[in-house]
Structure formats: structure tokens, C-alpha cells
A and B are shown apart, each in its own frame.
Chain A
Amino acid sequence: MITFLFICHGLCAIALLGAITHQAAAVWIPVRKGSASFFTRFRAVKAAGYVNAVIVLFLITFIIGSIIYPTYRTGARIYMEDLRMSAPVGAFEVKEHLVSFGLALLPAYWYYWRLPQKPEDNGARKGVVLVLAAIIWAAFLTGHVLNNIKGI
């Protein structure tokens, strides 16, 4: 069951990563002129359309992560501690705190991105999506590297 949840956690994280990266790219590097390149098409999306997907995927990934966390704590972490691998253990500590910040940020993310959008909140909107994207990327990469060291 834990293995199944762990795979779901990873799959949801990948989907979340895609959604938030699309949105952040559309907001921070908007398409000025029509072009057929992959990178242009990647950015040429309606950013507001990703909000609900990001919130739902973040919550699902977070909840599954909080369920499988004790298995990591009693298994993979102790394995790494025995090998004195303090950097990976510390990286997971940082990930744990970053995703907590991300969870706290989700309501504000929804608040500033809901429709109709106020022009005076444009800066907050861009800032919050960038911070959330950075958190999600950091959490994903940390989880991926740690899983390569010792899966649960």
C-alpha cells in the first residue's frame, strides 16, 4: 500500500510541476508575438486556468506525502543517518518546511488568482506563483534525489 501511495505521490508531483511551470512561464515570460516554437507554445497558455489544478494537485500530493512520511522517517532516513549522509537528511528537512510554506501559501494563491482579477494585485499574483513554483521545484528535486539514494 505504501509503495502504491508513493508512486501516486510521485505522479501527482509530476503533474503539479507541469501545471505550475506552465502557469509561471505564462505569467513571467508572456508570449509577445506568435511563434511556432515549443517554448513559445509552452508559455502561450491561459495562466488563470491552472489555478484549480495546482491547488487540487498540491493538496493530493501533500496529503499522500504526509501519510507516507512516517515510513520515510523510520526507514530511509535512519538508513541515511547510519551512513552519516547529513546533506540528504537536511535536504529532506528543508523540503518538509518548504512544502509547509507552500500549503500555507495556497489560500493566498487562490485569493489573488481568482476571477475577476484586480489589476492592483498583479505584483502579488506574479510573486506568489513564482514562490510556489520555486517551492514545488525544490520539493520535487529533493524527493527525486532522495528516492534515488534510498526509496521507501
Chain B
Amino acid sequence: MSWTRAIPAFSCAFMIAYLISMYFHPTFTLYTYGSRIGQWYLGVPQLPPRQGPGMYWYSWLTTGLIAGLVSGGVALALPENVRGRVWSGFVWLVPVVLIVILAWIERTWFGFK
């Protein structure tokens, strides 16, 4: 039994969890980076101007990593016949769908309502 079988599930879950974490910020934001003074803070504290602006990207990556590891573990636990039925094309379809959703989320930056 090879651990590498968990990799596609890891990648897909990482991307999905990252986007969810970003979109529902601050619900899934684990920590904040105070960009001006280089300090890390648990959660999403209100940073004074001399410490901020707060950066959450590192936390969203961590959330994605955790979700990826959990999903990879679940994928390893699945029986071979179930795993074999999962289409390998999900590994490119998932990011394509997520990029479309991302474009919709970020549309307001570009003047779209």
C-alpha cells in the first residue's frame, strides 16, 4: 500500500479548503501576521496601525494544508475498488472550477458588481 495514492485527494482538498478559508474569512483564519513589525498572532486580532496591516494568506495556506492532510488520510483508508472509480481528471477540473469561483469572488476589484 503506497502513501502516494493519497496525493490527488490532498491536492484537491487543499485548494478547496484554501478557497473556503479565504472566502469565509475570518471564520477559518487561524492566525494573523502583523506585516509591519513581523509578529504572529493567534486568530484575527484588531491590529494597531503600527503593527498592521494584518496578513492572513499564511493562515489560509495552513488551513488548506491541514484539510489536504486529513483528506489524504481519508483517501488512504478507502478501499481500492472505491478509489479506482474516482476519475483522475478531477485533479485538473477542481482547480479550473475554483479559478472560475475565484474570478467571481474577486470581480469587485475590477469594477464588476
Q: Which residues of A contact B (CB under 8 A)?
A: 66, 69-70, 73-74, 86-87, 89-91, 93-94, 96-98, 100-101, 103-108, 110-112, 120-121, 123-124, 127-128, 130-131, 135
Contacts and interface: CB of A to CB of B under 8 A. Distances in A.
Interface residues of B, number: 39
B7 A108 contact: yes
A124 B106 CA distance: 28
Q: For the complex, would chain A's binding face be called helix, strand, loop or mixed by DSSP majority?
A: helix
Contacts, number: 100
Interface string B90-101: 011101101100
Given A86-B109, A112-B88, A121-B88, 15 more contacts: A70-B35, A73-B35, A73-B55, A86-B110, A87-B109, A90-B106, A100-B15, A104-B10, A105-B91, A108-B7, A108-B12, A111-B8, A112-B8, A124-B92, A128-B92
Given A74-B35, A97-B102, A127-B89, A104 B55 contact: no
B3 to A, nearest CB: 11
Contacts of B108: 90
B18 A97 contact: yes
Looking at A74, A90, A101, the one whose CB has the most chain B CB atoms below 10 A away is A101
Contact of B88 (A97, A123, A130): A123
Nearest to B109: A90
6 contacts: A94-B109, A103-B61, A106-B11, A108-B10, A128-B91, A130-B92
Contacts of B88: 112, 120-121, 123-124
Contact of B18 (A104, A106, A107, A110): A104
A124 B18 contact: no
Contacts of A96: 57
B83 interface: no
Given A94-B106, A101-B15, A107 B7 contact: yes
